[in-house]
């Protein structure tokens, strides 16, 4: 590897749901690009360092000691970003070792620059970023790129302070045009958000949020950090306890606020134009503060009913699992609307529709849950050595069989007279829903959205905040119940979002991050339990290699549960803290 200066060209995305970008690692093609080699995995540990007086940061550099199985290297990158779609950063790199005395490193331009800026004094550790990076080389003509999905942990003061996933595509050679075209394709994926900030910038914001709980020496060091580092255009992390409102996103079986984005090879017909992914909650339902409850409910139901129908053909074909995912999300939103707007209609007018929608949602959910399981297992399998992968086949085969059966049941439901009748009756209800509206006795009875939404939002919030007392000791079932309560708060913020002013979207993003974090924990727990069931039920049929492989997968899911529990604090505090309540108060007061 070269030891001199270079210009790094890349595009980056925050992955809202863990595992939400894994399909790009195995896609047969991505725009103009085709795979140019197998997926490989590498673990990285990056120690960010500087002099005691922050000389490198003041000079506009971030210094990183990266340790891999191949050794240690020092990299210096320019701080900040232009915000352009394809990001460019100057980088100087060279060989190093674990020593914090630059004179001990092998000669390179990077070492020379560090000595010039900092002198011969020993450097100090600032923070550590650990990553599991899964990499796929891609080629389009003479253009070569590396697509990577990074599972990232930010470590400060000896503990994990934040965890997230990013997708990066870095230019390795050739013309930039195909990379720019690929960025336009990835922009349409609502499961990801383009970012221009670096992992270090996010880490700095995480450290700032955690400063009150840090040791005295670390607080003193970070309080002396220069503006060049602290005023970078980074996204505040989920859980930052200050007034800056992040655009967060999150988890597992994610529930995207917008319609799910494109498949890896093409954009859906109803995909938005190429450009930055909309902020959470930015889709328009057309809900207004002066709408009556039935009017608002009909707008929400109509929006998601159309989404459900748009994805029906793709769900039937089974060619793209994202169609099933999006159809399930639409039915969830419809069921949520019935609950949020519970008394907007006469119960007798909606009972049959709600019951039939529940059946459809159950069929979609059974198939989608198995998609999540198999996707997670495949992502895990890709990270193993080739000789270890066959041991997981009994588990993968069982879940494929169950998925096939669930898919058959789903298509049978969609082909049924019952479903056909539901679609017709739902369309008729939306056309004439006002006739089913609950009566308003007097003009002074609270019936407009501005009258009812604040109490609805705060009622769902108080159901979430009630877990504050038990969260430190919560078992898995309690955390699952918290996820459900968080889901109802999310739905209320989504449905009323257009009336909540500028605070609405940031509030929704924080709630979505909490729900998705808990969803990832739940998915990992389910996978562990099902893997254990297979080991117990089929112990006599499995080979030694299969038992070991499935057992290792089981332990990996248990570790993921433990990791999610350890890292819950920041995303919980982002919703439970005073800044969130103040913002929620402003939002509801705007009604």
- Residue ranges of domains in the chain: 5-230, 294-437, 448-591
Residues 299-325 pLDDT 10s: 899 899 998 998 888 898 887 788 899
Q: Is the pLDDT of residue 231 over 60?
A: no
Which residues are registered as beta bridge partners of 14? 166, 193
pLDDT tens sequence across 423-479: 999 998 888 765 656 555 456 666 788 888 999 999 999 999 999 999 989 999 999
Percentage of residues of the chain with pLDDT beyond 90:
39
Helix axes of 393-415 and 417-431: crossing angle, nearest 10 degrees: 60
Q: What pLDDT sits at residue 266?
A: 33
pLDDT confidence band for 4 (50 / 70 / 90): low
Residue 32: CB atoms within 10 Å: 16
Amino acid 228: pLDDT: 61
Q: Has residue 273 got a pLDDT over 60?
A: no
As a whole number of Å, the end-to-end CA separation of the chain is: 59
Instruction: Please state, as a whole number, how many other Cβ atoms lie within 10 Å of the Cβ of residue 585.
Output: 13
Q: Most confidently modeled of 21-25, 133-137, 268-272?
A: 133-137
Q: Tell me what pLDDT residue 556 has.
A: 92
pLDDT at 236 over 70: no
Of 419, 490, 25, the C-alpha closest to 256 is: 490
Whether 79 contacts 57, CB under 8 Å: yes
β-pairing, 34-35 vs 87-96, is unpaired
| 121 pLDDT higher than 50 | yes
The yes-or-no answer to whether 294-437 and 448-591 have a common fold is: yes
In the CATH scheme, what architecture does the domain 294-437 have? Alpha solenoid (1.40)
> What confidence score (pLDDT) does residue 85 get?
64
User: Rounded mean pLDDT of 402-420?
Assistant: 94
Q: Which residue has the higher pLDDT, 463 or 22?
A: 463
pTM: 0.56
Return the closest-CA partner of residue 126 out of 145, 100, 106: 100
Percent helix, strand, coil in the chain, to 5, is: 55, 20, 30
CB 128 within 8 A of CB 47: yes
pLDDT of residue 198: 84
Q: Is the pLDDT of residue 80 over 90?
A: no
| Alpha-carbon radius of gyration of the chain | 25
The alpha helices in 119-172, defined as continuous H runs, are none
Answer whether residue 33 shows pLDDT above 80. Answer: yes
SS3 labels along 165-217: EEEEEEEEECCCHHHHHHHHHHHCCCCEEEECCCHHHHHHHHHHHHHHHCCHH
Mean pLDDT estimate for the chain = 83
Band of residue 213 on the pLDDT scale cut at 50, 70, 90: confident
Task: Give the position of tokens 């989404």.
Answer: 307
Instruction: Average the pLDDT over each of 113-127, 170-184, 241-255, 559-573 and give the range with the smallest value.
Output: 241-255
CATH no. for 5-230: 2.40.320.10
From 83-87, 95-99, 417-421, 529-533, the region with the lowest mean pLDDT? 83-87
pLDDT at 20: 84
CB of 442 closer than 8 Å to CB of 349? no
- 574's tokens: 């982002």
311 Cβ contact list (under 8 Å, min separation 6): 323, 324, 326, 327, 330
Residue 279 has pLDDT above 60, yes or no: no
Choosing among 1.40.20.10, 1.10.10.10, 3.40.50.720, 3.30.1330.40, the CATH entry for 448-591 is 1.40.20.10
Tokens at residue 99, please? 């020593």
Rounded Cα distance between 167 and 145, Å, is: 13
Alpha-carbon span 433 to 525, nearest angstrom: 42
Per-residue confidence band for 25, with pLDDT thresholds at 50, 70 and 90: confident
């Amino acid at each position: 590897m070269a030891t001199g200066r270079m210009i790094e060209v890349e595009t980056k995305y925050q992955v809202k749901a863990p595992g939400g970008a894994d399909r790009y690692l195995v896609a047969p093609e991505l725009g103009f690009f085709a795979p140019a080699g197998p997926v490989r995995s590498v673990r990285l540990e990056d120690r960010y360092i500087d002099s005691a007086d922050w000389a490198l940061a003041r000079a506009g550099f971030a210094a990183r000691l990266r340790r891999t199985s191949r050794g240690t290297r020092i990299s210096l990158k320019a701080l900040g970003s232009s915000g352009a779609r394809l990001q460019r950063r100057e980088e100087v790199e060279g060989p190093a070792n674990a020593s914090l005395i630059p004179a001990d490193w092998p000669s390179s331009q990077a070492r020379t620059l560090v000595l010039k800026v900092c002198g011969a004094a020993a450097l100090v550790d600032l923070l550590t970023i650990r990553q599991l990076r899964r990499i796929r080389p891609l080629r389009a003509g003479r253009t070569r790129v590396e697509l990577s999905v990074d599972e990232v942990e930010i470590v400060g003061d000896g503990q994990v302070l934040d965890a997230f996933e990013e997708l990066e595509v870095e230019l390795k050679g050739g013309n930039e045009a195909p990379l720019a075209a690929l960025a336009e394709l990835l922009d349409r994926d609502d499961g990801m958000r383009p970012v221009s900030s670096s992992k270090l910038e996010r880490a700095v914001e995480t450290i700032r949020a955690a400063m009150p709980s840090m040791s005295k020496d670390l607080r003193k060091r970070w309080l002396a950090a220069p503006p060049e580092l602290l005023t970078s255009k980074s996204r505040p992390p989920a859980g930052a306890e200050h007034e800056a409102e992040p655009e967060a996103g999150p988890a597992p079986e994610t529930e995207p606020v917008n319609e799910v984005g494109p498949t890896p090879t093409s954009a859906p017909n109803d995909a938005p134009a190429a450009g930055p992914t909309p902020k959470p909650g930015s889709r328009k339902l057309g809900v207004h503060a002066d709408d009556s409850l039935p009017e608002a409910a009909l707008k929400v139901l109509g929006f998601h009913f159309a989404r459900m129908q748009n994805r029906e053909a793709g769900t039937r074909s089974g060619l793209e699992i994202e169609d099933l995912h999006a159809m399930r999300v639409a039915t969830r939103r419809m069921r949520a609307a019935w609950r949020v707007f519970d008394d907007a209609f006469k119960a007798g007018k909606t009972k049959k529709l709600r019951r039939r929608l529940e059946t459809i949602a159950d069929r979609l959910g059974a198939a989608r849950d198995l998609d999540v399981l198999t996707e997670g297992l495949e992502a895990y399998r890709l990270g193993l050595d080739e000789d270890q992968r066959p041991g997981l086949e009994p588990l993968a085969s069982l879940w494929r069989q169950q998925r096939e059966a669930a898919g058959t049941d789903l298509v049978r439901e969609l082909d049924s007279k019952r479903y056909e009748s539901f679609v017709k009756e739902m369309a008729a209800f939306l056309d004439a829903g006002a006739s089913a509206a609950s009566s308003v006795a007097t003009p002074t009875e609270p019936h407009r959205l501005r009258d009812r939404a604040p109490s609805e939002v705060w009622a769902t919030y108080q159901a979430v905040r009630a877990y504050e007392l038990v969260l430190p000791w919560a078992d898995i079932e309690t955390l699952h119940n918290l996820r459900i309560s968080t889901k109802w708060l999310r739905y209320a913020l989504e449905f009323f979002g257009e009336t909540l002013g500028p605070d609405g979207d940031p509030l929704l993003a924080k709630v979505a991050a909490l729900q998705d974090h808990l969803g990832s924990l739940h998915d990992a727990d389910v996978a562990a339990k099902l893997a254990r069931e297979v080991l117990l039920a089929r112990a006599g049929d499995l080979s030694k290699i299969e038992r070991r492989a499935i057992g290792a997968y089981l332990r990996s899911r248990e570790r993921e549960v433990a990791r999610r529990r350890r890292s819950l604090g920041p995303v919980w505090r982002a919703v439970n803290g005073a800044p969130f309540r103040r913002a929620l108060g402003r939002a509801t007061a705007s009604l």
